[in-house]
Every structure is written in structure tokens, then in C-alpha cells.
Amino acid sequence: MNFALNLSEYFLMMEDRVRCTPRFVSTIYWALSAWKERPWVTLEFSSLGLSGKVFHTSDLARLAELLLLFPRDTPTHLLLSQFRLLLAQQVPIRFASSVFRPVPNDSVPEDACFPVEREPVFGEPDNPVARVLTDMSAVSNVVPEYAYVLNKESYSTFEPLRGNYLTVVWERPQKVTRIEVLTGSDPQGRYRLQQGQVELGYDPLAHSEGCARYTLLGPLVEGNLDQRVFYEEDAAEQLSCIRLLVLAPQDSWLLIRQIRVWTQPEEEQSWRHQGRPARGGPGHAASTASEK
């Protein structure tokens, strides 16, 4: 780490025995570009213990000092979690699609020093019942609900302005585990939102008019977002809204193709509530950005 201090702006941590997905360098590059002006300590592109974690090289000296404070057999992945907490990133920032996966090898013991977190199986999104609000002008008979209903419909508008929004307001608070927002009409990115971010909302206002408080989940990366939602330990607040916010005027069409939400089953929520939640379990979904 100390050797890498002056070699680049970012540091990607890699283990042996991992497989890389196609275009993984481009995936990381565009994510870093989207997060460049926002505060973060660690971005995670994998569920592996070490591989896929990206740091600012300006933080490497402090990270190396932290690691050297502990015996060599101290699990490194635990120290990395403590490092982001020390620098005020309260929850992981992890992209839902891993770009690094372990190479299958029956000879590697299950209790290895750097355990692999099992990839979650999300299944299909379940989009809870919600009202959808926007201050953008719709085209023809298109309604904002088209961006949220799980079918082939989509919501389109022309020349969105900075500050425009589309907000999903649930009928009741939810335990959300993953959010995906897709904009644009095709893989080439036509009509996608060029600059935007997704926010998590709390304290629902009367008459389903949105939420009183929002925190950042993440910026759109090439017009899309696909992130897991983590929660602060021992917190109990649930999400009531998701807001897609336009950050810059756009002199073209905008197509919001779909907003997908995965929630935690109620029976699992009850089971976790009876015991002490693990880090990353149910509670207050936090972000690295200041509350708005």
C-alpha cells in the first residue's frame, strides 16, 4: 500500500484465485467517475472478503498504519470495515452486481482467513404498492407510475431541469435490500439521465406527498443505478420513499425505463427483530452524504 501512494488516484485491492467479469475495468472506472465529487471511503465491487474494494490512495498510509497495529492473524476484512467506520462511512457502498468472484477450488477450507460472503439470491423485484410523484411534464398519456410498475411501460419527459424529481412513496415503510434504477431506451444510452442520483427518504409527509428527509444512496452510473441497501446497526427506522433527482439540465428526451425494488420478507424482519441485528441488517439505511 505504501508503495502505491504516488502511483495513482485510487487503489484496487485484489486477492489471488478470483475471476473477473467482462469489462470490469470499465465498470469500476465509470462508477468512480460518478462518485468522484461525493464523500466515500470504500467502494465495494464484490462480496469477497478483500477483492473488489477500492480506496483513495490518499487514505492508504492511514490504512496501512491501522493494519500494522494488530497481530498478523487478525482477520483483515474486519479491519477494513472498521477503517471506513473510523472515517465516517457508516454503511457499506456495495454495487449489487459483483465484478469479482472466487475461483471454485475444493481444496480451500471453509474457515479460510478471508471468508467469502455468500452472494445473496435476490430473485425478482417485488415493488411494494406505492404512489409515484413527479414535477416533470409527461408525454401524451404517460403517467409517472409507468416508471415503477413491473412491466414494459416506461415514463418519458422532455428536457428535464436541475432539481426535477420522480418520487416513489410507499403505502407503509419498507425494509429494502436492493434498488435498481434504469434510464435510457437501449444499451447505447439514448435518452438516459445524464446526471442524477437516487435518494432514500424518511419521515413521510401527510397525504403521501413525499418524505421530509432524504439521504444519498448513490449517483447514477451511465444512466443507471444498482446498489444494495445497508443499515446502521441497532437502528430501527425504515424507508418510506425513493427519489430520483435530476442534477443538471438536459436538452433531450429522458426515459425512465424502470425502478426496481427488493424488500426483506416480513417473516425475516420479525426473526431479526427478536435478536441483535448483524451489521448490514435491518435498521436505519444511511449514506455517506449529508441529509438534505
Sign of CA dihedral 101, 107, 113, 119: positive
Same domain assignment for residues 154 and 267: yes
Cα separation, 59 vs 64, in Å, equals 9
Q: How many domains does the chain divide into?
A: 2
Q: Which long-range contacts (CB under 8 A, 24 or more apart) does 69-76 make?
A: 73/113, 75/49, 75/113, 75/114, 76/49, 76/50, 76/113, 76/114
User: Is residue 241 situated within a structural domain?
Assistant: yes
Q: The whole model's pTM is what?
A: 0.83
CA distances from 22 to 27, 136, 183, 226 (A): 9, 36, 22, 17
Same domain assignment for residues 138 and 95: no
Same domain assignment for residues 74 and 143: no
Q: What is the mean pLDDT of residues 142-167?
A: 94
For residue 106, with 0-12 CB atoms within 10 Å meaning exposed, 13-18 middle and 19 or more buried, which class applies? exposed
Same domain assignment for residues 153 and 53: no
Sign of CA dihedral 263, 267, 273, 278: negative
Same domain assignment for residues 165 and 49: no
> 197: pLDDT confidence band, cut at 50, 70 and 90?
very high
> 75: pLDDT confidence band, cut at 50, 70 and 90?
confident
User: Is residue 111 situated within a structural domain?
Assistant: no
pLDDT at 117 over 80: no
Domain membership of residue 246 as a residue range: 130-285
> 275: pLDDT confidence band, cut at 50, 70 and 90?
very low
User: Is residue 107 situated within a structural domain?
Assistant: no
